[in-house]
Structure 1
């Protein structure tokens, strides 16, 4: 078993390079390969990030601009490639263009002989992760969507601000689509060890406050894109968190997109649910007892995703 961990990044745009920058700063892996359809983008970012080698406390061994053949012995492939989201456009509206791109990427990674774990953040992420898994035939537990990792982080931060507590003392999560139909599982939420329901009962927060927090967490990306054309730092850190949990076998619970096979009363779909993440990818899906209302909203989210996946299937025929 090799000691050095190798990560291949496919897509050297703002999201991909934010991920690599976060990863090298945390000393997550020793070797990095950057792949992009625009070779200058891969080479330029390789030279730029390589400048950090001499000053990082936990430095890395190598970083290079490479080819799909470099995936063969990689531990993890992270895919962020695809056209960016336009101002005012939903993630689901991007599906046809990016499904075609994902099919090409998936085919080349499969042909390389890669047998590691894939983490995907290309949007619409739930649908494109399904496309990738279907094209490659890889074991679904080793194909992971970044899902609502970022959305849930936003939810925690915003609720923490409402209650004037540190974000890392808040445990609240969004289930379902990485997008507009996600579901706030307030029934499973805690703040400083107290349930969200207790805060409601004590009048420390109102249902209107919770609705506002959920709405802002779900739509924050649109505001960021309108102002600076992209959202990438937050997702970059979230991707690094997922990858670190895999490479260090942390058995950490994260809200990632997983392939459901009956969990949460849904099957044959990628969507976000709580999962234990370790060296084998998704070690297991955690089945929460959510309320009937939350389950109904989750089912609607899944139905919407399935409709969009049919559009993706048509696009890659």
Structure 2
């Protein structure tokens, strides 16, 4: 039985639960939240939709003891990003929340895979790894999975191509220092930069604008509706499926670097092979000089932010 324990039943968590129910992935879903009545209500509501679902998922509201037999614990709990606030502004308060959460999960006897969605996701994934004591391969952050999806969507719109046939990555921090890997962006095997050189209606300036729209998408959505949740929820379900189906899929998630990309002791968004064991391997792209510089800057920003939170001598 594939069991998912969802911790945090706010906008992202409840959207994840709904999206998960609509795919035949998990056999069991337990919802854990400080607001027990909300968790109970959502479990009831979701159960009432089972006659229309492609799965027979057992859904209930529970507590940390239910994590003992969970294969995956998905953490969506924490303080939300407010208008005008960066993801990094959330570091201190959410790190404290995570320490309490992870300690209670591990006390249950949990020995599965963590998926972290709460921002700042790279730092909180590192925190989950530290607090849990689990192998780095079994602690995964959502990383730039959503940024990459936004990137592919906007490129598809620009070139009038189905977004599923656009191959391009956003890597680095899930935040203001992320970067597009233009050197590996292609459509149908044709590099994007070659496409714009051969057609006057496309331009490098437009590509720059596309990336800015990707990077700032969360701010634009938060300004309009207060939070982002549908896109990231679907990304989390995609990651869950890759694990349960042992897919060996390549997804841009937050993983621990140990020499890859010439960096170490940091969780950051890069392409990685995901299967039933968690992270099988990090995929190292051959970055150009500009991309290397941007990626290293992103790493340094994360490490500087973390320096006051974790004793690196541990």
Sort the TM-score into its range (normalised by shorter chain): over 0.9
Q: Give the corresponding residue for 1:237.
A: 234
Tell me the distance in 1 between the aligned counterparts of 2:165 and 2:308: 40
Q: Shift in Å at residue 285 of structure 1? A: 0.6
TM-score (norm 1): 0.96
* Kept after mapping to 2: 8 A contact 1:151/1:217: yes
* Kept after mapping to 1: 8 A contact 2:168/2:184: yes
Q: Give the corresponding residue for 1:196.
A: 192
SS state at 2:309 partner: helix
Tell me the distance in 2 between the aligned counterparts of 1:249 and 1:205: 39
Q: Give the corresponding residue for 2:128.
A: 132
Tell me the distance in 1 between the aligned counterparts of 2:30 and 2:308: 32
Tell me the distance in 2 between the aligned counterparts of 1:192 and 1:274: 19
* Structure 1 gap ranges (5+): none
SS state at 1:313 partner: coil
Q: Give the corresponding residue for 1:44.
A: 41
Tell me the distance in 2 between the aligned counterparts of 1:41 and 1:211: 42
Q: 2:168 aligns with which of 169, 172, 175?
A: 172
Name the stretch that deviates more: 75-84 or 46-55. 46-55
Name the stretch that deviates more: 42-51 or 257-266. 42-51
How large is the RMSD of aligned CA atoms in angstroms? 1.1
Q: Shift in Å at residue 57 of structure 1? A: 3.0
Q: Shift in Å at residue 58 of structure 1? A: 2.4
Name the stretch that deviates more: 229-238 or 205-214. 205-214
Q: Shift in Å at residue 149 of structure 1? A: 0.2
Q: Give the corresponding residue for 1:90.
A: 86
Q: Shift in Å at residue 199 of structure 1? A: 1.3
1:5-84 correspondence to structure 2 within 5 Å: 5-60=2-57, 62-84=58-80
Name the stretch that deviates more: 144-153 or 35-44. 35-44
Tell me the distance in 1 between the aligned counterparts of 2:42 and 2:134: 29
Q: Give the corresponding residue for 2:183.
A: 187
TM-score (norm 2): 0.97
SS state at 1:274 partner: strand
Q: Shift in Å at residue 53 of structure 1? A: 1.4
Q: Shift in Å at residue 183 of structure 1? A: 1.0
Q: Within the alignment, does 1:141 sit opposite 2:156 as a pair?
A: no
Tell me the distance in 2 between the aligned counterparts of 1:268 and 1:245: 25
Tell me the distance in 2 between the aligned counterparts of 1:205 and 1:278: 38
Q: 2:297 aligns with which of 284, 296, 300?
A: 300
* Number of equivalenced pairs: 310
* Kept after mapping to 1: 8 A contact 2:23/2:54: no
Tell me the distance in 2 between the aligned counterparts of 1:28 and 1:100: 32
Q: Within the alignment, does 1:114 sit opposite 2:100 as a pair?
A: no
Tell me the distance in 1 between the aligned counterparts of 2:259 and 2:192: 28
* Kept after mapping to 1: 8 A contact 2:172/2:299: yes
* Kept after mapping to 1: 8 A contact 2:78/2:94: yes
* Kept after mapping to 1: 8 A contact 2:7/2:13: yes
* Structure 2 gap ranges (5+): none
Q: Shift in Å at residue 45 of structure 1? A: 1.1
1:252-263 correspondence to structure 2 within 5 Å: 252-263=249-260
